[in-house]
Amino acid sequence: MDWIQQLVNGISLGSIYALIALGYTMVYGIIKLINFAHGEVFMIGAFVGFYAIAGWGLGFFPALIIAMAVCAGMGMLIERVAYRRLRGSTRIAALITAIGISLFIQYLFIYFRGAQPEAYPEVISNQTFNIFGAQISSQSLMILGTSIVLMIVLQFIVHKTKIGKAMRAVSHDMDAARLMGINVNTTISATFAIGSSLAGAAGVFFGVYYTKIEPLMGVIPGVKAFVAAVLGGIGIIPGAMVGGLVLGVVETVVSGLGYSLWRDAAAFVILILILLFKPSGIFGKNAREKV
């Protein structure tokens, strides 16, 4: 029952991509900026979780909440310091700033703690269940379950709360929203906070699931999540979830067929194909609902 095993592997990987992709897509939806520093927020989440677990001896959920909170703050800080004053400037200026911030965080982190990797402590007792011949670990179930809960909470925030309504309004038309009395800056801050906290959660999941964390760990997952966001249709929340899961499964299938060296290439081939044939992504349509 190899394919069930591979599907489980792919969904676990995909749910991490999906959580990161959500942050990309939300930020893009609201200010049309590809926030390349998002991968670094993911890395910081992983390290905060690590220090909370290994240093303070906290459990999985308290560590997860602390990492999400720190990353939310981090996201707002990045937005306040780097992007807010570029709000009126060209999109390319903001994009280049994002790349600069990304490198700045990576190397600042290396400067202060060194580049050596860290091994995540085993915080969830790891049992494996045998389901239809596939080995499914309690860790991957926990990760999958928590990601689904986080995505449901996100949907609730976006569709049922006042701030969610404001986010949708700002993404639709920033000027009109401001005329309606919506505080645009606060709304954008909130978007960064929510997206970054999801990246922080993804960082902790990554650490628990893959054990090894290091200061440059955010680069590749960050870029992959960007591909996932484009695949689903950038700016569209359900698109990011589906895009992440699809990308995870595709990568796993490619490795599973014995082309493991082509795995990363596959992700970027998908990006190129999407941009060529359906630039608006799987969920893209003319009248988009964006956040």
Partner 1 sequence: MFFKKRMTAVLLASTIGAAGFLAGCGSDSAGGGESGDTVKIGANLELSGAVASYGEGIAEGIELAVDEINKDGGIDGKEIEIVKVDNKSDAAEATNAAIKLTENDDVVAIIGSATSGNTVAQAQVANNSETVLLSPSGTSPNVTVNEDGSLNDFVFRTSFIDPFQGTVAANFAANELGVKNVAIYADNASDYAKGLAASFKETFEAAGGKIVAEESYVAKDTDFRSTLTRIKSANPEFIFIPGYYEEVGLIVKQGREMGIDVPLMGADGWDSPKLVELAGGDSLNNTFITNHYSSGDPDETIQSFVTKFGEKYNGSSPDAFNALGYDSVYMLKDAMERAESTSDAKKIKDALAETKDLTLVTGIISVDEDHNPIKSATVLEYKDGEQVFKTKVDP
What are the residues binding partner 1 (CB under 8 A)? Answer: 2, 5-6, 9-10, 12-13, 117, 119, 122, 126, 128, 135, 137, 206, 210-212, 217, 220, 251-253, 255-258, 260-261
Dist CA 62 CA 39 (whole Å): 22
Pairing type for strands 212-213 and 128-131 reads unpaired
In the bound state with partner 1, the residue whose beta carbon lies nearer, of 10 and 195, is: 10
- Give least dist CB 232 to partner 1, A: 20
- Give least dist CB 18 to partner 1, A: 15
- Give least dist CB 73 to partner 1, A: 26
Q: Apex CA 114: angle with CA 113 and CA 118, to 5°?
A: 85
Distances, alpha carbon 172 to alpha carbons 67, 161, 289, in Å = 31, 17, 8
In the bound state with partner 1, the residue whose beta carbon lies nearer, of 163 and 253, is: 253
In the bound state with partner 1, the residue whose beta carbon lies nearer, of 2 and 175, is: 2
- Give least dist CB 269 to partner 1, A: 17
Give residues with Cβ within 8 angstroms of 118, minimum separation 6: 47, 50, 212, 213, 214
- Give least dist CB 111 to partner 1, A: 16
Q: What's 134's DSSP letter?
A: E
Structure tokens at 70: 């720190």
In the bound state with partner 1, the residue whose beta carbon lies nearer, of 28 and 50, is: 50
In the bound state with partner 1, the residue whose beta carbon lies nearer, of 161 and 211, is: 211
In the bound state with partner 1, the residue whose beta carbon lies nearer, of 91 and 212, is: 212
Contact 225, 17 (CB under 8 A): yes
Helices 38-50 and 219-232, packing angle to 10 deg:
130
Dist CA 273 CA 278 (whole Å): 8
